[in-house]
Structure 1
Amino acid sequence: MCGFLAEFCFNNIGITSPEHFGDLLRISKHRGPDDTQTIRHDNFQLGFNRLSILDLSTNGSQPKESPSGRYLTVFNGEIYNYQSLASAFNLQALRSTSDTEVLVHLLDGLGVEETLCRLDGMFALTIIDRKTNQCYMARDFAGIKPLFYGISPLGLVSASQFNQVFKHPWFKKELSLRPDTMKAYFGFGYMPSPDTVFDNIYQVEPGQYIIVENNGTIRKKYVERFDDLNFRSDETYSEILNQTIKEQMTADVPLGTFLSGGIDSPLITATAFQKDKTIEAFTFKAEDALMDESQIAMAYAEHIGIAHQVIKVSFEDVKGIVDFTFDKMSEPLGDYSTIPTYLVTNRASKSKTVMLSGDGGDELFFGYPRFLHVMNHRHWFKLPFKIRRPLARIALKFNLLKSWGPYQYRTVGQWVMSKQIHIDEQILNDMIPEVNWSQAVKTLYEYKSTKKQNLLGWLRRNEFFGHLQRVLAKVDRMSMANSLEVRVPFLSKQSIYYAFGWMPKSFKKNIHLKQKLKTILATHVPQILISQTKKGFTIPIEDWLKGPLSEDVHKLLLTDTFYGAQLIEKAVIETYVNDFYAEKHNSSWGIWHLYAWQKWAIKEGLI
C-alpha cells in the first residue's frame, strides 16, 4: 500500500521542476513512509512513497522498470494472484519476490491490456510505455484503491490523492468548481466517479483503464465492470472465500483482522484464523451502549479462539483527533464514521501493517434492510404515477402501506436515490439552484423496471458502484493515515463474479439478508451469535454536533466564508443549520457533509 505521483507531458512541452514534483509527492508520504523514489525523463516523471509489504528489500522499490526497459510503472495496492501468474507464465529471472516484479514481467510478455485482464487484486497504477510514448492508468475492479488524474493543455497528472493533482502547477491557478458534483457531494457525502468537484480533474472509475497519447488524445476502456450476471462457478462460495483469504494473507509483515458484531468480519476472521492461529482481531468499543457491539464481537472472538483487542474510546479521546482525520483527507468526504475508523486503524497499526476487513459483504449479498424495503414495495411502481399517488395516500391513511416512497417518487430509481441522500433533494435544489444532477449520478440511479430478479440485481449493482465507493474511500483514507494496509476479501474478482451470478431463493424478510454468508458462518460459530442484531460502526454524532462540536460547526457554516459561495445560496444553508439546532430536522449526516466540506477547504487553503 503506497502513494504515487506521475506527470506525463504533451507534445514534449517539458515537465515541472524536481522541487515542485517533490513537494507534491511528499503530500502522500503517510501512505508510504518506508521509502521514496523518483524517476525523471524528458517528458515524464514518476514518484513513489512505499509502504513495504512484500519483499522488504530495496528490490521491491518503485518506480519499477520492466526487464526490457519498455515499461515503467508506479503501482499502489496488491496483486493477490501474482504467485499463480508467475507460475502460469513461467516467469524467469525475477529480481524480487514482490507482486510488482511479476507485474512488469507480464507487461513485457502480454502488453498492458492483457496483463490488466489477468490481475486479481486491489490496485491503482500508472504505466509509461516508452516505445509508443503512451501513458496508461488503471484502477481495480471494485474501486478499492484511489486514482485521481487531471488533464491540462500541458499534460496529465495522476496521483493517489486528489490534492496532489489540484495543487499541481498546471491546475492550482485555474481551479473551477463543478456545481453538479458539489450537489452530489452535499447529498451523498462523496464525489461519485468519474467526477470531482473541479473541472478537468477526474477519478478513474472502478475496473477502468485509460490510454493517454503524447498529443493529449484520451481513450477510455473497461477491463471489467461485471456486466455478465450469468457467471457460474464450479466452486462453492465457501471454497472461493477460503482461497481468496489464503491469497490475501500473503505478506512479509504482521497481519490482523477487524472484528465487529455483525456477519461479514466474523466470517473473514474465523476463516483467517483457520489458516493462521497467531492472527489477532481488533474491535472498536463505542462509549454509547446503544451503539456498542463489542460484547457480541468478544463472544465471537471467544468462540473462534482468536486473540482479541477491544479498543474503547470516549469523546475525550476523540476531541484531539477530529481535526487530524480531516487533515488526512485529500478530498471532501462527509462520512463521520471516519473517526472510529481512524481510531481502530491507528490502534491496529501499533502492531500490524496489514489488516483484513469485511467490507463489501452487505453490498454483494443483500445485507441492508433498504434492499427489503424496496423489494417489498416494488409492486406499487407497476402503476402509473397519476393513479398510484391517490391510491397510495388512501393506503397510507388506513395503514395498508408502510412507506411514503410509492407516493413521492415516480420511479424505483428515484426512491432508491432518496435513501442515499442525506440532505433533502428540494433543499439541495434550493442550495444550488438551477443545477441538475451530474451524468454520473443520473446513470447510477436511472432505473424503472420492477421485475423481481432484474430489480434485485440492479439494487446490488447500485450499492456496489454507489454507496460502497464512499465506504471504501473512508477506509482507505483513514487506514493510510496510519500507514496501514486494509485488504478486502469479499471484493476479490472471483468473489464478485460469484456474487453477481447468485440470487437468493427467497427475499422477503430480515432473515433472508445475507443468508449465504450466515450459512457459511454457522459452520464456525453457534447460530445464537449470528442471530443477534448488529448495531453499526458509528458514534453519537448528533450529540457531538449539538455539544462539543457545536461552536466549530456554527463558526464554519454560519460565520466564516463558505467555500464556493458564488455557486450557493448561503441563506439556505443557514436556515438548514439553524433548523437542525432548533430540532426541526435531525439530519446529522447532512450537517456533517457541510461541515466536512468546510474543514477540507480550510485545510487545503482554498478559503
Structure 2
Amino acid sequence: MCGLLGEYSFVNNLSDSESFANLLSLSKHRGPDSTKIETGEKYRLGFNRLALLDLSSAGEQPKKSPSERYHLVYNGEVYNYRELIVKYDLQNLESTSDTEVILHLLDSIGVVKTMQQLNGMFAIVIVDIETYTLYLTRDFAGIKPLFYGINDIGVVFASQFDQVFKHSWFTENLKLRPKIVREYFAFGYMQAPNTLYENIFQINPGELLKITNDGKIIKENILHFPKESLLNTHYDLSKCRKALQKSVKLQLNCDRPLASFLSGGVDSTLITAYAKETKDDIEGFTLKVNDEKLNESEFAKSYAQHLNLNHTNVEIDENELVSIVEEHFEAFSEPFGDYSSIPTYMVTKKAAQYHTAMLSGDGGDELFWGYPRMYDVLKKAWWFKLPLFLRKNLVKVTNKFGITNTFAPFTKSLEQFCMDKHIKLPSEILDSLFKTGYSVEMSSNLYRLDKKYNKRQLQQFLRWNEFYGHMQRILIKVDRTSMKNSLEVRIPFLDKEVIEESWKTYFPLDNLKDLKRPLKSQVQHLIPQNLIMQKKKGFSVPIVLWLRNQLKPDLIKTVLNSNLYGNEHFDQIKLKEYVQAFLEEKHNNGWGVWHIYAWQKWANKCVLNKKNI
C-alpha cells in the first residue's frame, strides 16, 4: 500500500521539482517507509512506500521493467503473483515483490494482457518509454484510488484528489462542476469517473486508460461486471466458498504483522474463520464501544473463543470517538459525507498500533444481497408496473384501510425509488438549492433500469447497482481512513474469482431472513447456531445527538457563520436555513446535515487554506 504521484507532459515542460516533492509529501501517510522520485524525458514519477512484501530496497518504486521499456509506479497488492510466475515461467527475478512480477509480465505479454491477468487491488501507472504512451488502470472493484487531470500541458495522476488539483498545471483554472457538486450533496461522495472539478477525473473500476503523446485518450475495460448475469438457482455454492477460502489464503501473504477485523457480523467472522484454517496464529481484532445498542464485542469474543483464536478487544468510549472527529477529517483529500468514517478511522487507528495489514469483511453485503433496502425494492416493485396516477390513488385507499403502509407509489419511477434509498439530502431539498437543470448526473447510468424486467433481473440489477454505487463509498471510507493511519486493509470478498463466482449465484429473496443466505449457511457450519448474533447491530455513532450537542459549536462556526465554498452554484441561504431547522429540531436529517458540514470542512482544509504545501 502506497501513495503515488506523477506528471506526463505533452510539451516537455515538467513542473518545479521542489513543488513536485511537496505535493508527493501530501501522501506520505500512505507510504511512510521510503520516498523516491525519478524523472525521465517528458515525465516524472514519485512514490511513497508502505512495505509489506520484500521489505528490502529491491521492492522500492518507481521501477523499470528488465528491458527498461516500461517505467512503473503501483499502489496495492497483486495476490496471484506467485501463480503468474509459474504460469509464464518468469526467470531472473531480482526481488520477491509482486511489483517485480508485473514488470516482467509487461516485457513478456504487453500492458493489456498483463492487466487482464492480475488479481488484487491496485492503481497502476505505466510509462511506455519506447512509444511515450501513458497507461493508467485501476482494480476491477475500485478498492484503490487513482485520480488524474488532463489539459493542454499534460497529465497529472495521483492517489489523492488534492495532489492533482493543487498541481501547478491546474491550480489557476479550477472550475467546479455544478452537477457533481449536487451529486456530492445527494450521495456524499464523488462517483467515478467524476470529480468536482473540470478536467479532473477518476479511473473507473476495471478500466485501462491509454493516453498517447499527442493527448489522445483510448479507454478499455479490463474487467467490468455486467448488469445481466447467468443467474442460476442450481449453481453449486461450494465453488464460491472455495474461491473465498483461496482468496483469504492468498491475502494472508505478508512480511509485516497481519490480523483480521472481527465484528459480530457474518462477513468478518467468515473471513477470520477461513484465515484461521491457514494461519493458526491469526489474531482477531475487535473495537468495543460502551453503548450496548452498538457494541458487538461480546459476540466477537464468543466467536473467537469457539475458533480458538487469538483476540484483541480494544475498548473506547463515546468521548474518545467525539475527540477524534476533527482529526479524522484530515484523512480526506476529497469531500466525503459518510459519518461512519469516524468509527472506521478509530478502529484503523487502533489496529495500526498492533499491525500493518488487516483482513476485512467488506463486500459481502453487495455480492450476496445483504441490505434490507434490496428486499424492500423487490417487495414494492409491482407498484411501478402501474401508471403513476393510478398507484397514487390506489395506495391512498390501501394505506387508509391498513392493507399497506408505504409511500413508495408516490415516487416517479422505480429507478428514482432505488436512488432515493442512497440519497441523504432529499430531491425536493436539492431542487430548491440548485439551479434548474442541475440534475443528479449519476442517475443517467448507475440507476438506469431496462423497462422490461422480471424479479430475477431486478434482483441482479440491485446487486450491480450496489457494487458500483454504495460499495464505492464504503471503499473510499476504508481506504482513506486506514491509509491515513498507514494501515493496509485487504478485502477477500473482492477477489476477482470470488466476484466472478458470486455473480453466477441466485437465490430468491422472499423474506428478510434470505439476505446473504449462502454466507449465513457457511458461518453456521463454523459457529454454533446459539452463538451467532441474529441481527447485526452495526458500529455507528449517534450523529443527530452529536451535531446538536458536542459538535454544535463547530457546525455553527463552519456552516452557519461562513461563506460556503461553491455558493455561486447553490442557494447557501436556503442551505443554512436547512441546517438551522435541524438545530431547532424541525427535522432530524442528521446525515444530510453531515454532508453539508463535511463539505465545508473539506473546503476549509484543502481548498480555502492557502498555506504553501
CA distance in 1, matches of 2:583, 2:190: 27
**Corresponding residue for residue 490 of structure 1:** 493
When normalised by structure 1's length, the TM-score is: 0.97
**Corresponding residue for residue 9 of structure 2:** 9
**Corresponding residue for residue 572 of structure 1:** 574
CA offsets, 1:571-602, max 9 Å, x none? 21122111111222111111111111111111
CA distance in 1, matches of 2:219, 2:390: 43
- 1:429 alignment partner, SS class: helix
Q: 1:220 to 1:437 in 2, by over 3 A?
A: farther
CA offsets, 1:247-284, max 9 Å, x none? 11111111101011111001001110111121111112
Query: Does structure 2 retain, via aligned residues, the 8 Å contact 1:127–1:136?
Result: yes
- 2:61 alignment partner, SS class: coil
CA distance in 1, matches of 2:339, 2:165: 24
**Corresponding residue for residue 381 of structure 1:** 384
User: Do residues 327 (structure 1) and 326 (structure 2) align?
Assistant: no
CA distance in 2, matches of 1:522, 1:458: 28
Show the 5 A alignment for 1:53-68: 53-68=52-67
CA distance in 1, matches of 2:453, 2:526: 37
Query: Does structure 1 retain, via aligned residues, the 8 Å contact 2:264–2:533?
Result: no
Paired letter, 1:96 = S
**Corresponding residue for residue 554 of structure 2:** 552
CA offsets, 1:385-404, max 9 Å, x none? 22221112211222222321
**Corresponding residue for residue 168 of structure 1:** 167
Shift of 1:346: 1.1
CA distance in 2, matches of 1:26, 1:82: 29
Say how many residue pairs are matched: 604
CA distance in 2, matches of 1:345, 1:234: 32
Query: Does structure 2 retain, via aligned residues, the 8 Å contact 1:518–1:530?
Result: no
CA offsets, 1:309-365, max 9 Å, x none? 222222332343211111121100111111111111111111211100000000000
Shift of 1:167: 0.2
- 1:77 alignment partner, SS class: strand
When normalised by structure 2's length, the TM-score is: 0.96
Shift of 1:36: 0.6
**Corresponding residue for residue 591 of structure 2:** 589
Paired letter, 1:294 = S
User: Do residues 248 (structure 1) and 251 (structure 2) align?
Assistant: yes
Shift of 1:604: 1.1
Paired letter, 1:159 = A
**Corresponding residue for residue 345 of structure 1:** 348
CA distance in 2, matches of 1:81, 1:402: 50
Could you tell me which runs of 5 or more consecutive residues in structure 2 were left unpaired when the two chains were aligned: none
Shift of 1:531: 4.8
Shift of 1:7: 0.4
Paired letter, 2:9 = C
Paired letter, 2:172 = K
**Residues 249-258 or 570-579, more deviating:** 570-579
RMSD: 1.4
Paired letter, 2:266 = I
Query: Does structure 2 retain, via aligned residues, the 8 Å contact 1:210–1:219?
Result: yes
CA distance in 2, matches of 1:324, 1:520: 39
Q: 1:104 to 1:234 in 2, by over 3 A?
A: farther
Paired letter, 1:565 = N
Query: Does structure 2 retain, via aligned residues, the 8 Å contact 1:184–1:441?
Result: no
Shift of 1:510: 1.6
Query: Does structure 1 retain, via aligned residues, the 8 Å contact 2:287–2:297?
Result: yes
Q: 1:233 to 1:124 in 2, by over 3 A?
A: farther
User: Do residues 452 (structure 1) and 455 (structure 2) align?
Assistant: yes
Shift of 1:490: 0.3
Could you tell me which runs of 5 or more consecutive residues in structure 1 were left unpaired when the two chains were aligned: none
**Corresponding residue for residue 27 of structure 2:** 28
Shift of 1:154: 0.2
**Residues 224-233 or 294-303, more deviating:** 224-233
CA distance in 1, matches of 2:432, 2:350: 42
Q: 1:60 to 1:130 in 2, by over 3 A?
A: same
Q: 1:295 aligns with which of 286, 295, 298?
A: 298
**Corresponding residue for residue 263 of structure 2:** 260
CA offsets, 1:70-103, max 9 Å, x none? 0011000000100000110000000010000000
Q: Identity across aligned pairs (percent)?
A: 45
Show the 5 A alignment for 1:421-460: 421-447=423-449, 448-460=451-463
User: Do residues 209 (structure 1) and 211 (structure 2) align?
Assistant: no
Paired letter, 1:577 = V
Query: Does structure 1 retain, via aligned residues, the 8 Å contact 2:210–2:219?
Result: yes
CA distance in 2, matches of 1:424, 1:434: 16
**Corresponding residue for residue 472 of structure 2:** 469
Query: Does structure 2 retain, via aligned residues, the 8 Å contact 1:150–1:200?
Result: yes
